[in-house]
Amino acid sequence: MENLIGHDQQRKALRRQFEHGQLPHALLFSGPSGIGKSLVARELAISILSTETQRSQIEKITDAGNHPDFFLIDCQDTEKASTEGVRSLLHSLHLKSYAGPNRVVILNNVHYLNAQALNALLKSLEEPRPGTYFILVTSHPNNLLKTILSRCQIWAFHSLSEKELHAVLEQKKDDFPAEHMAVLSLIADGSLENVFRLSDHIEEWQQMRRSLLQISLGDRALAVDLAKKLGKEKERAIRSVHFMRILARQKLGELESPGQATKWARLLEHALLAQNGIERRHLNATYLFQAIFLELTAPENVPASSQCPIEEALRL
């Protein structure tokens, strides 16, 4: 298993709970996609299944997918994570474990399970068998039944820092050009999933950054033109909103004048609103971008309007 980077606090606390015999039978790891939650779950699973003298051997067997008491299900797999597939897995847990007293079930992307599969899982969480541990991994805990959440000890995981993500990329340096490491560590927003998603869009980020900085100086014509350009295609619009958030946070960290800070804070706020509007409500991206960019052109000594058109659109 590759060296784990980040989440030191959660990993130490989980290890301490296990060593003291206080680890609950059901845990839920929640946080953004691509930050290493499932790797932490695997690390914990190996600890549960191992003794100190066995750990290296158990790690190899588990990573090869050959441990009889380790079950890893990606709930995006519609066959394995079907209602019947989940029921079959849960039924097999009634049998005696093979290699030791414990067994571990990791349900990755558990929010993809349908209602029937979740209800079947709930019964197992309510009536846990001794030595059986469930680790549910999700980036969308709000999509889960409240009864599922109430049966789990919930652990919050946060995005990796830029430094931590850079260290992860160093482990994968054969996959990315060295000159892209720094910029990918910045724009990926602490997620390895974003690294792969955005690795072919570095030039797009650089162009977006230059355009937004020019717009912030008052270029209204560019604001309108850029909005039209970015609003044509949904995937690019979503990437653009992501880049807006990255730049806004970067500028806020540069401790500019109060007026400038307010301007970039508003951009960050509106980028978050736009993301929801474009992804979930399918609002007109060109209209949203134009409203955001035109507000960004305002001089810093001119107060922002109390309600931007994007906020009005999202309240319709």
Task: Pick left, alpha or beta for residue 256 (phi over 0 → left; psi -120 to 50 → alpha; otherwise beta).
Answer: beta
Q: Where is 26: in which H helix or E strand?
A: strand 26-30
Mean pLDDT of all residues in 270-284: 86
Helix (H, G, I), strand (E, B) or coil at 51: coil
Q: In sequence order, what are the residues at sequence separation of 6 or more whose Cβ sits closer than 8 angstroms to the Cβ of residue 19?
A: none
* Mean pLDDT score across all residues of the chain: 90
Strand order, beta sheet including 26-30: 70-74, 103-108, 132-138, 26-30, 153-156
Per-residue model confidence (pLDDT) at position 276: 83
Per-residue model confidence (pLDDT) at position 1: 47
Per-residue model confidence (pLDDT) at position 27: 98
Mean pLDDT of all residues in 38-55: 89
Is residue 285 scored above 50 in pLDDT? Answer: yes
Q: Please tell me the least confidently modeled range out of 30-39, 77-86, 153-162, 253-262.
A: 253-262
Per-residue model confidence (pLDDT) at position 172: 84
Token pair for residue 118?
């979740």
Confidence of residue 53 (pLDDT cuts 50, 70, 90): low
Confidence of residue 56 (pLDDT cuts 50, 70, 90): confident
Strand partners, 136: 28, 107
Q: Residue 258: CA atoms inside 13 Å, Cβ hemisphere, count?
A: 3
Q: How far is CA 212 from CA 245, 272, 297, in A?
A: 11, 16, 9
Per-residue model confidence (pLDDT) at position 99: 83
Q: Where is 103: in which H helix or E strand?
A: strand 103-108
Q: Please tell me the least confidently modeled range out of 182-186, 211-215, 303-307.
A: 303-307
In angstroms, rounded to a whole number, what is the distance separating the alpha carbons of residues 298 and 219? 9
Per-residue model confidence (pLDDT) at position 176: 85
Confidence of residue 2 (pLDDT cuts 50, 70, 90): low
Confidence of residue 196 (pLDDT cuts 50, 70, 90): very high
Each residue of 78-113: pLDDT tens digit? 888 899 999 999 999 988 888 889 999 999 999 999
Contact present, 43 and 56 (Cβ < 8 Å): no
Per-residue model confidence (pLDDT) at position 149: 96
Q: Please tell me the least confidently modeled range out of 8-22, 128-142, 260-274.
A: 260-274
